[in-house]
Structure formats: structure tokens, C-alpha cells
């Protein structure tokens, strides 16, 4: 809203005309002169001088003959005369009446200017007072702002904090790019068919990288692999060995740089529920991402894979609520000291499946215990092939609830219990329902396999099973199977 005319609304005075307008007819009761006639033989004479009390109107005298035509214009309008003397009556109707000019309203411009000046002065005073008060508070005890007295130029994080652990571990974590190729294509995608991104970490100073099998599976047969460190340096790599059932793979850098720093390995057997966890990886391709959580559960039976059942992996996993997403696979799960306690491998998705789908984290992530992964890695580095412990019996992998039931006949028509195998030697038969492995309850076939694969071949274990409604126990010495069947 403009303030240009504020205070002057309705006060504008138009300038008075220099000559009063001639009305069409005089008002009633006012002295008047006869209207001038049209030019003829009797032009009107000038009106008589006004008296104190205006007499009734007198018809104009006829114009004297020979006075000449037209008559000279009157000094005042023909219908009135000028006032004569002090206090004279203003005259007959039509004579301009001199009225004293009313006093003009003072314009508000001066007032506005004064108000503005006062406001500026008040503002200056207020600003000065505010500055004085602020200075006083800064130097006194009334301030509510707290400032660190001495901030070091090079801020050092205390050992054991997440930032300190992550800062030390990140240089040893890599992002893996895998690309399959029909004709020897490379990671640029020329001739490529499929590929993916995952994570791994430095296992030793010779340049071995530990990761998941499903991260490198697409490039295992003639594809291309590369790893990128947190400093952006990229190196070509090759597969040394992989174990589909364990979901573990070992790579080796073709030209390993000097000074590689392997991540320290912890003891997953000593992990407790509630322990802090730190996950590092490349979720959805976002390299060097750090998330935190706790160990939510131990020995969680997990079967993950491509959904067909023929390429599944089984583990007795560490469960964590640290955010794990596609791309985190193969990355380290660290404890509060920065030691590796697991390899991030699978997530529970909202679709209800376990695996490596594109669903995001819902706080249910699963890692392969590092004790198991280390044993597999050493075997792969040594021979290039995995070795699996077995009991020599096939169990139902679909039913869940009461236990793991030995089926009547395995696929391909072979006996469900291998003749002269570990289970046969311990007296187990087809139809037996295994309910416990050592002292751990078994509710399904995948749970049983996950527990078996946590042990080395040759280990003696105790199985509890039911037959014909009766409970039995047996001691079984684990056998072995080399390679993925």
C-alpha cells in the first residue's frame, strides 16, 4: 500500500475560476436583472447601483436612441454591480462574493519526515543498546551459547569410536565389479551379458580378496573382474576358488600393490547378542558406505540363492540390524574393535524371501561367521576347491517344523542313506527325524545342513532323532565331499 497521499484524502482544493460561471437562471427570491434581449431596437441599460436592501427588480431601461450599437460592455456583469465601500452588501445575485480563504491543512509530509527521523534515531539507539547488551552477555554469564575452548586443528577420534574403526578399515575394503562375457569382453560392457557390483576385503598381503560367491559368479567363466580401493585405484583380479554352498569366493589381484593391509579376523564363536557391529560395503553401487547396528541373533539358519533350490547356499548365520543392501554382499561385518566377525551375505526382504534381491534393508541382515569363512578361504587358496562335511544322508529340504527328516530316496534314484557312510555307520535309516545336532534344536533340513557346515570333516557330533515315536541318539563322525555337486 502506498503512503504517498496518506493523511490528505479528501483535502485537495481545486483552484477557483478567475470569472464565476454564468448560471442558466437566477435563483428564486434573489434580485435580478432582466435577461438581455436579442439585439433589437431596445438594448438593455446597465443595472442601477445596489442599495443596502436590494429593491425589487426593475426592468431595464430602454437603450437611448442614438447611443450607438452595440452598447459598450459593462464593467461588471450585466446582472450585478461591484460592492461599494467598506461593509457594502455584496450586491445583487451573480456578483462574486469575497470570502476569506479557509486556512489550508498542513501537509503531513513534515510530520512523516519527523516520524521517520524519530524512527531512525530510535533504531540507532536500539541497535546501540542491543550491541552493548550482546557484548555484555558474551563477556558475562548470561549467554546460553557454549563454545569449545580449544578446538585442535587436527581433530583426533578416540580409539574404538565408529569413525576411528571405519577410518582404519576403509582402505582395506574394495568394491568389486564383475562382468560376464560371451566373447572375452571387459567391464566396459562390450560383449558383456550380465554382471554386478559387490564388496570384498583384503585377506592377506599377497593380494587375496575375500568375498561372496554370488558376487563373482557371473564372471567366473571367462568374464572380467576388477576391484577398486577407497582411494579410487582400480586393479584387475581373477578367481582363485569359490564355494557355492558356503557362498564364499577368493580373488587375487593380478598386480597387487605393495603395502596391502589385511583386515584383522576376529572370533565369531565368541560373539554375543547385543555386541556392536559395523558394516562396510557398496549398497546399490555406493562405495565405502558405513552402517552400524548390533548382533541381533546367532546361529540363524539361512538358505539363500537364486530361488531354484539347485544353487542355494546354507549358513548358520550371524543376524544383524546394521543396514545391509544389495551391493553390501561380500563386505566385512566388524565388531567394535574393527575385527572381522562375518561376511555380509543375505537379507530378509519384504517379499518374504532370503537372498540378494533388489529389495532394501528392513533391519534383517545375515553374515557368514568368519570362523567358517576363514576355513573355506584357506581351502580355496590351497586347492581351489571347497570341501564340505557330510553325514551321508539326504533330508527333506521343504518341510519345516518338527525337524529334518531323512527321505526314502534321494534324487537320481540313489539311496537316501549312503551305504557305509557316516549316518549308516551310526545306525540311521530312511524315515528317521533328526531333532537335535549336538545340543542345538533342528527344525528343518536347511538348519541341519547349516550346522553341519560349521564343522570340519572328521569332527564327531551327536545327533538326536526320532523313530517310530521313540527318541534315540547317535554319534556321527562327519565325512567330506570335495567340490560343488
Residue-range domain boundaries for the chain:
162-383, 387-482
Q: CATH number of 162-383: 4.10.220.20, 2.40.10.120, 3.90.550.10, 1.10.10.60? A: 2.40.10.120
Q: Is 296 a known active-site residue? A: no
How far apart CA 28 and CA 253 sit, in angstroms, is 122
pLDDT of 122 reads: 47
pLDDT of 409 reads: 79
* Domain 387-482, architecture per CATH: Roll (2.30)
Given 214, 304, 361, 394, the catalytic residue: 214
Cα 360 from chain centre? 15
pLDDT of 261 reads: 95
How far apart CA 105 and CA 329 sit, in angstroms, is 87
CB 363 within 8 A of CB 452: no
In this chain, the answer to whether the domains covering 162-383 and 387-482 adopt an identical fold is no
pLDDT of 401 reads: 85
Q: Is 396 a known active-site residue? A: no
pLDDT of 100 reads: 57
Given 304, 329, 361, 375, the catalytic residue: 329
CB 266 within 8 A of CB 335: yes
pLDDT of 425 reads: 95
pLDDT of 6 reads: 43
pLDDT of 126 reads: 47
Given 63, 181, 217, 247, the catalytic residue: 247
CB 93 within 8 A of CB 81: no
Q: Mean pLDDT by 10-residue block, N- to C-terminus, for the chain (485 residues)?
A: 42 44 46 43 48 49 50 50 47 50 55 47 47 50 60 73 94 94 42 70 96 91 92 95 95 94 96 96 93 94 66 88 91 96 87 53 88 96 95 90 88 85 95 94 92 93 95 96 86
pLDDT of 437 reads: 96
pLDDT of 351 reads: 59
Q: Is 163 a known active-site residue? A: no
For the chain, the distance separating the N- and C-terminal CA atoms, rounded to the nearest angstrom, is 86
CA nearest to 281, candidates 361, 377, 174: 174
Check: pTM over 0.85? Answer yes or no.
no
Amino acid at each position: 500500500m502506498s503512503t504517498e497521499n496518506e493523511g490528505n484524502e479528501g483535502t485537495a482544493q481545486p483552484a477557483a475560476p478567475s470569472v464565476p460561471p454564468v448560471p442558466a437562471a437566477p435563483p428564486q427570491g434573489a434580485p435580478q436583472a432582466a435577461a438581455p434581449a436579442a439585439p433589437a431596437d431596445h438594448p438593455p441599460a446597465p443595472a442601477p447601483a445596489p442599495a443596502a436592501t436590494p429593491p425589487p427588480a426593475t426592468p431595464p431601461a430602454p437603450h437611448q436612441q442614438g447611443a450607438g450599437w452595440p452598447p459598450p460592455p459593462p464593467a461588471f456583469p450585466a446582472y450585478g454591480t461591484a460592492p461599494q465601500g467598506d461593509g457594502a452588501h455584496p450586491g445583487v445575485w451573480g456578483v462574486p462574493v469575497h470570502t476569506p480563504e479557509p486556512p489550508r491543512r498542513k501537509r503531513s509530509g513534515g510530520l512523516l519526515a519527523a516520524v521517520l527521523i524519530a524512527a531512525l534515531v530510535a533504531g540507532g539507539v536500539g541497535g546501540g543498546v542491543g550491541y552493548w547488551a550482546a557484548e555484555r552477555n558474551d563477556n558475562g554469564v548470561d549467554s546460553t551459547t557454549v563454545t569449545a575452548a580449544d578446538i585442535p586443528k587436527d581433530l583426533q577420534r578416540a580409539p574404538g569410536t565408529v569413525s576411528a574403526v571405519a577410518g582404519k578399515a576403509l582402505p582395506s575394503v574394495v568394491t568389486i565389479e564383475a562382468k560376464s562375457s560371451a566373447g572375452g569382453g571387459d567391464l566396459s560392457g562390450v560383449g558383456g551379458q550380465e554382471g554386478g557390483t559387490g564388496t570384498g576385503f583384503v585377506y592377506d598381503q599377497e593380494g587375496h580378496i575375500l568375498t561372496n560367491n554370488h558376487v563373482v559368479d557371473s564372471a567366473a567363466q571367462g568374464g572380467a573382474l576388477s576391484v577398486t580401493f577407497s582411494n579410487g585405484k582400480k586393479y584387475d583380479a581373477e578367481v582363485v576358488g569359490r564355494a557355492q554352498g558356503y557362498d564364499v569366493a577368493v580373488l587375487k589381484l593380478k598386480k597387487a600393490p605393495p603395502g596391502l593391509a589385511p583386515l584383522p579376523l576376529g572370533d565369531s564363536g565368541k560373539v554375543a547378542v547385543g555386541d556392536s557391529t559395523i558394516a562396510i560395503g557398496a549398497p546399490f553401487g555406493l562405495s565405502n558406505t558405513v552402517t552400524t547396528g548390533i548382533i541381533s541373533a546367532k546361529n540363524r539358519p539361512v538358505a539363500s540363492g537364486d530361488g531354484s533350490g539347485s544353487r542355494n547356499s546354507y549358513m548358520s548365520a550371524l543376524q544383524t540390524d546394521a543396514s545391509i543392501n544389495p551391493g553390501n554382499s561380500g563386505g566385512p561385518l566388524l565388531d567394535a574393535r574393527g575385527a572381522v566377525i562375518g561376511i555380509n551375505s543375505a537379507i530378509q526382504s519384504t517379499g518374504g524371501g532370503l537372498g540378494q534381491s533388489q529389495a532394501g534393508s528392513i533391519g534383517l541382515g545375515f553374515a557368514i561367521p568368519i570362523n567358517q569363512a576363514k576355513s573355506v578361504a584357506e581351502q580355496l587358496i590351497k586347492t581351489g576347491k571347497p570341501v564340505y562335511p557330510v553325514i551321508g544322508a539326504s533330508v527333506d529340504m521343504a518341510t519345516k517344523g518338527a525337524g529334518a527328516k531323512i527321505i526314502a530316496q534321494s534324487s537320481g534314484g540313489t539311496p537316501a542313506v549312503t551305504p557305509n557312510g557316516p549316518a549308516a555307520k551310526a545306525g540311521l535309516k530312511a524315515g528317521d527325524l533328526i531333532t537335535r545336532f549336538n545340543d542345538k534344536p533342528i527344525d528343518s533340513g536347511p538348519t541341519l545342513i547349516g550346522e553341519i557346515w560349521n564343522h570340519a570333516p572328521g569332527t564327531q557330533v551327536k545327533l538326536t532323532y526320532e523313530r517310530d515315536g521313540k527318541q534315540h541318539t547317535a554319534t556321527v563322525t562327519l565325512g567330506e565331499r570335495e567340490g560343488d555337486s
